[in-house]
């Protein structure tokens, strides 16, 4: 038997970064969980199908979407070294979801999911690729926290409404405003955006000590060139149905079953930070709805979210997803509900909402 590989050492004063990756699984109540970064939500061709097959073979059978537009598998059995099965790591690598072992947990980039397809002031997809390549090429940036989030907003205000650490918001087809935590930064040419963000991220690594986010720095991001408070962006509501050259669908509770994945095209799939997918135009809305996707803009699933809850989380007081399904079936009139299994309220939206606790497993 091969000896177990050691996990990289942390500076003694820094609390451990528990953000999971395929090489650093998190052990939950229902087995191990791995998170796979998808910069800008742009899923490599064929990757979802490969991952769904792997979820059947090695995990709970489903592919889970996160609120940062990433993918997760849950319920994985680890080997005697605490690693995921070699076959699963091979599938993830072959699917193009692990281009850098050293940087896998820091490739956290959200971008306007409809960019280049419908609306927006510019197409930020080339910036996603350049930012990701620059991130992976810099050994210093492997020390970013796994929670650190880059945002690229094509000018429509969707990503600007999220709490990213460093955001570039397009002002037109040639320039962007940099937002540092909650502070306004400089205006730069779009071509300068990746290096401008990477430079600030490097500085954050140097000065962060034990903080996870730019907002937690002593001067709340002024250290990285932020000045006055950035204007608070309005709440963004994701559109659903056919939109320009794309189709936008909701994934209730962010759970992609094998049947749902089988109904998807092999290419052109984008994961949104609102637990949905953008698909190529021509996708059949009726067929998608039959497999479990929601496509109606005023669906209650637009307003109801839930944390993992029982049985996946050991802290949960009840089955949050079952309660969320009951709330949706009851046709709630609340404008926004988040179902949580405990006071931590993981995954709660940043917009105003009513918090409902699942107190016992049905």
- Least Å distance, CB 147 to ligand SF4, is 15
- 154: tokens are 């094509």
Collapsing DSSP to helix, strand or coil, 272 comes out as coil
Per rule CB under 6 A, is residue 253 in the interface with ligand SF4? no
Stretch of residues binding ligand SF4 (CB under 6 A), selected from 150-158, 238-246, 305-313, 321-329 = 305-313
- Least Å distance, CB 76 to ligand SF4, is 17
Token look-up 């319920």 returns 75
Per rule CB under 6 A, is residue 20 in the interface with ligand SF4? no
- 163: tokens are 């709490």
Per rule CB under 6 A, is residue 136 in the interface with ligand SF4? no
Stretch of residues binding ligand SF4 (CB under 6 A), selected from 15-23, 58-66, 280-288, 313-321 = 313-321
Between residues 65 and 98, which has the closer beta carbon with respect to ligand SF4? 65
Cβ(165)–Cβ(237) under 8 Å? no
The closest residue (CB) to ligand SF4 is: 341
- Least Å distance, CB 158 to ligand SF4, is 25
**Residue choice 162, 253, 313, 327 for contact with ligand SF4 (CB under 6 A):** 313
**Residue choice 345, 349, 353, 357 for contact with ligand SF4 (CB under 6 A):** 345
Residue 334 zone, left/alpha/beta (φ > 0; ψ -120 to 50; rest):
beta
Peptide bond into 141 cis (omega under 30): no
Rounded to whole angstroms, the Cα distance separating 249 from 70 reads 16
- 328: tokens are 């949706």
Rounded to whole angstroms, the Cα distance separating 223 from 218 reads 8
Cβ(318)–Cβ(359) under 8 Å? yes
Rounded to whole angstroms, the Cα distance separating 93 from 308 reads 26
Per rule CB under 6 A, is residue 307 in the interface with ligand SF4? yes
CA-based nearest residue to 154, from 112, 196, 195: 112
Give CA angle at 194 (152, 156), nearest 5°: 20
Per rule CB under 6 A, is residue 318 in the interface with ligand SF4? no
Residues forming a β-bridge with 229 = 183
CA-based nearest residue to 140, from 98, 106, 185: 106
Cβ(71)–Cβ(35) under 8 Å? yes
Give residues 190-209 in contact with ligand SF4 (rule: CB under 6 A). none
- Least Å distance, CB 79 to ligand SF4, is 26
**Residue choice 40, 274, 309, 319 for contact with ligand SF4 (CB under 6 A):** 309
Per rule CB under 6 A, is residue 75 in the interface with ligand SF4? no
Between residues 52 and 308, which has the closer beta carbon with respect to ligand SF4? 308
- Least Å distance, CB 308 to ligand SF4, is 4
Stretch of residues binding ligand SF4 (CB under 6 A), selected from 5-13, 228-236, 286-294, 335-343 = 335-343
Per rule CB under 6 A, is residue 171 in the interface with ligand SF4? no
Per rule CB under 6 A, is residue 341 in the interface with ligand SF4? yes
Rounded to whole angstroms, the Cα distance separating 55 from 74 reads 8
- Least Å distance, CB 204 to ligand SF4, is 26
Site for ligand SF4, rule CB under 6 A: 307-309, 313, 315-316, 340-342, 344-346
């Amino acid at each position: 038997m091969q000896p177990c590989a050691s996990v990289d050492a942390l500076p003694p004063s820094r609390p451990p970064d528990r953000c999971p990756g395929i090489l650093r699984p998190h052990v939950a109540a229902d087995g191990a969980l791995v998170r796979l970064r998808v910069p800008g939500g742009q899923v490599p061709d064929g990757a979802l199908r490969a991952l769904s097959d792997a979820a059947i073979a090695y995990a709970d059978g489903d592919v889970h979407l996160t609120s940062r537009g990433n993918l997760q598998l849950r319920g994985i059995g680890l080997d005697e070294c605490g690693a995921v099965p070699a076959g699963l790591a091979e599938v993830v690598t072959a699917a193009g979801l692990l281009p850098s072992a050293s940087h896998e947990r820091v490739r956290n980039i959200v971008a306007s999911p409809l960019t280049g397809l419908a609306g927006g002031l510019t197409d930020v997809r080339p910036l996603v690729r350049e930012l990701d390549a620059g991130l992976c090429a810099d050994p210093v940036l492997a020390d970013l926290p796994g929670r650190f989030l880059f945002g690229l907003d094509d000018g429509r205000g969707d990503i600007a409404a999220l709490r990213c650490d460093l955001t570039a918001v397009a002002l037109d087809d040639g320039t962007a405003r940099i937002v540092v935590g909650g502070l306004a930064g400089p205006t730069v040419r779009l071509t300068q955006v990746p290096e401008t963000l990477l430079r600030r991220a490097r500085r954050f690594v140097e000065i962060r000590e034990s903080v996870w986010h730019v907002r937690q720095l002593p001067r709340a991001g002024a250290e990285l060139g932020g000045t006055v408070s950035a204007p608070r962006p309005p709440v963004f509501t994701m559109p659903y149905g056919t939109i320009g050259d794309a189709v936008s669908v909701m994934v209730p509770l962010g759970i992609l079953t094998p049947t749902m994945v089988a109904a998807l095209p092999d290419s052109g799939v984008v994961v949104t930070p609102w637990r949905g997918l953008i698909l190529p135009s021509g996708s059949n809305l009726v067929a998608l709805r039959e497999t479990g996707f929601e496509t109606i803009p005023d669906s209650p699933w637009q307003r109801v979210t839930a944390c993992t809850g029982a049985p996946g989380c050991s802290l949960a007081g009840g089955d949050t997803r079952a309660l969320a399904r009951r709330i949706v079936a009851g046709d709630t009139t609340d404008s926004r509900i988040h179902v949580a299994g405990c006071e931590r309220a993981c995954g709660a939206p940043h917009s105003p909402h009513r918090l409902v606790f699942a107190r016992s497993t049905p």
